[in-house]
Amino acid sequence: MILVGVVEKTVKDIVALKIQGASNVRKRSVEALVEASLASKSKKPDLFRKEFLKNASALFYARPTEPELRTALRIIKRSISSKGMEVEEMKSAIEITAKRYEDSRKDALVRIARYGAELIHSNATVLTICHSRSVIDMLIKAKSKIKKVYCLESRPLYQGRVTAKELSEAGLDVTLIVDNAASSVMKECDYFFSGADALLADGDIVNKIGTAQISMLCAHFDVKHYAVSSTHKFEPASFFGKAEPIEQRAFDEVWEEKARGKVKINNPAFDRTESSSIEGIICELGVFPPQVLASKLFDELELEKHEPEFLQL
């Protein structure tokens, strides 16, 4: 059974970073899965499920560090888990569940922006890293209270340029700086806002490489680091001891093979920031210390009642 074209193309685009940012990866993947499911020619429920799982698995594993995507696909899979469902019933359930999930994400972004904007004090100077939809929406919401934004360029693919451009077009005073210049502006900053590609059981976060060292720098300069993320980024598997993988990107992103010769390259896309370095996590539920939020999500998901297998796709 081969992958449906739209799913295969989406997987390739994710791997090649033509689709980037956790929210975009999740959104485009869900759209591809829904499109493929609705277009399926399978008439038998068992064959339809096999086709669905093959497409969903390809998207699920397209990038290692994407809990938001994994959460969405698990929820959609659960919508067709009841025995006795006919193919048309499953198609309808997939489409409805995907729409509800997308609506919940949109609502989460609105709530996050509001909570974050309320937290920021007047005349604030802010430092950001990489590209986060949640951070961007929050800073735009708080525009009247922000004096200046410094955006780290986020090498080697320069996602910080996307953030800088979007904030500038929204009317904020923005300066792009090279990653290693963070300490040169830290004395001016009141906040460091990062996104989070994963929220973990112990309150740690996984985010764009460089986040951890900037967070430690914040402690030295007495700058508050807030991670801005919906709880859709929470990875429940981390409660069962599963480590969140750190994606290793292509060496040529850093230095082309022809030019570097035999020089070895290490190109991790993400790093892990300890909860002790983070002032709080701004999410759709409010603003919480990292470990408090992790405990809250553990209770809400009733993880003590489950085994690790329930998270498998």
Query: In tens digits, what is the pLDDT along the chain, a chain of 313 residues?
Result: 445 699 999 999 998 888 888 888 999 999 999 999 999 999 999 999 999 999 999 999 998 888 999 999 999 999 999 989 999 999 999 999 999 999 999 999 999 999 999 999 999 999 999 999 999 999 999 999 999 999 999 999 999 999 999 999 999 999 999 999 999 999 999 999 999 999 999 999 999 999 999 999 999 999 999 999 999 999 998 988 888 999 999 999 999 999 999 999 999 999 999 999 999 999 999 999 999 999 999 998 888 877 766 677 7
DSSP string covering 99-148: HHHHHHHHHHHHHHHHHHHHHSPTTEEEEEES--HHHHHHHHHTGGGEEE
Q: What is the pLDDT of residue 182?
A: 97
189 is catalytic: no
Q: What is the pLDDT of residue 176?
A: 98
In degrees, to the nearest 5, what angle opens at C-alpha 195 toward C-alphas 233 and 22? 50
First to last CA, the chain: 18
Q: What is the sign of the dihedral through the CA atoms of 278, 22, 151 and 264? A: positive
Question: Which domains, and CATH codes, for the chain?
Answer: 5-108 (1.20.120.420), 111-311 (3.40.50.10470)
Q: Which one from 137, 151, 189, 197 is the annotated catalytic residue?
A: 197
173 is catalytic: no
User: From edge to edge, which strands make up the β-sheet containing 280-283?
Assistant: 174-177, 146-152, 124-129, 191-194, 224-228, 280-283, 286-288
The predicted model scores a pTM of 0.90
| Residue closest to 282 by CA, chosen among 242, 209, 224 | 224
User: Residue 155 burial by CB count (10 A; 0-12/13-18/19+): exposed, middle or buried?
Assistant: middle
Task: Measure the CA–CA gap between 41 and 88, rounded to whole angstroms.
Answer: 11
Q: Which one from 130, 189, 218, 283 is the annotated catalytic residue?
A: 130
Residue 83's contacts (CB-CB under 8 Å, 6 or more residues apart) are none
- Torsion, Cα 97 100 54 25, to 10 degrees, reads 180
Residue 12's contacts (CB-CB under 8 Å, 6 or more residues apart) are none
